[in-house]
């Protein structure tokens, strides 16, 4: 039995397709055609209903800080940074960093907006405070 694959990702599995999208500065998430839920991280099947029938769409980029922490480094190891869990407007939660304010000033409940940036040369989805920057999530 062949599961339904999506023409958008073609020969690429969802993991590689997500990475290829990030390389083009696009933050995409999967939407299950059967149960209607969005899901993240990228998977071959919907973790809610198990369907393999999904489509990729651009994430709105809108999110809310669900939990937040600050990684404290010794000064010789670099600057402290934020690690947060973000609830996307579409529903899924993901780990990321809120990067445009002091890491300890990020608050649970803050509205944030996604953008594609880099950490150590890896393309990643990052967030900035919504009210300080109007750029969309790409």
Partner 1 sequence: MSHALRGAAAIVGIGATRFGELPGRTHTENMSEAVHLALADAGLSKDRIDGVFGADFTDSMVGLSMTEYLGLNPKYIDSTNLGGSSFVNFLQSAALALHAGLCDVALIAYGSNARTGGRAGRGPGSVPYETVYKPRQPINAYALAASRHMHEYGTTREQLAEVAVAARGWAQLNPAAFMRDPLTIDDVLGARPVVDPFTVRDCCLVTDAGAAMIMVAADRAKDFPQKPAYLLGIGTATTHSQIACMPDLTVTAVAQSSPRALAMAEITLGDVDVVELYDAFTINTILFLEDMGFCPKGEGGRFVQDGRIAPGGELPVNTNGGGLSCVHPGMYGMFLTLEAVEQLRGQAGERQIAGAEISLCNGNGGLLSSQVTAVLGAESTL
Residues near partner 1 (CB under 8 A) are 15, 40-41, 66-72, 81, 83-85, 93-97, 103-104, 108-109, 119-120, 122, 124
Q: Report, in Å, the least distance between residue 122 CB and partner 1.
A: 5
Q: Which class for 45: exposed (0-12), middle (13-18), buried (19 or more C-beta within 10 A)?
A: middle
Q: How many whole angstroms separate alpha carbon 73 and alpha carbon 87?
A: 26
4 versus 107: smaller Cβ distance to partner 1: 107
Q: How many whole angstroms separate alpha carbon 82 and alpha carbon 71?
A: 6
4 versus 69: smaller Cβ distance to partner 1: 69
Q: Report, in Å, the least distance between residue 1 CB and partner 1.
A: 26
């Amino acid at each position: 039995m062949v599961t339904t694959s999506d023409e958008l990702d073609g020969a690429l599995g969802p993991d590689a397709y997500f990475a290829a999208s990030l390389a083009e500065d696009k933050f995409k998430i999967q939407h299950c055609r059967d149960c209607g839920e969005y899901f993240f991280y990228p998977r071959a099947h919907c973790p809610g209903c198990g369907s393999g029938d999904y489509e990729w769409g651009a994430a709105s980029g809108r999110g809310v800080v669900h939990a937040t922490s600050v990684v404290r480094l010794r000064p010789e190891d670099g600057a402290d940074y934020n690690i947060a869990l973000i609830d996307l407007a579409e529903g899924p939660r993901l780990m990321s960093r809120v990067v445009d304010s002091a890491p300890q000033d990020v608050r649970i409940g803050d509205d944030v907006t996604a953008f594609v940036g880099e950490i150590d040369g890896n393309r990643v989805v990052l967030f900035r405070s919504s009210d300080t920057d109007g750029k969309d999530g790409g």
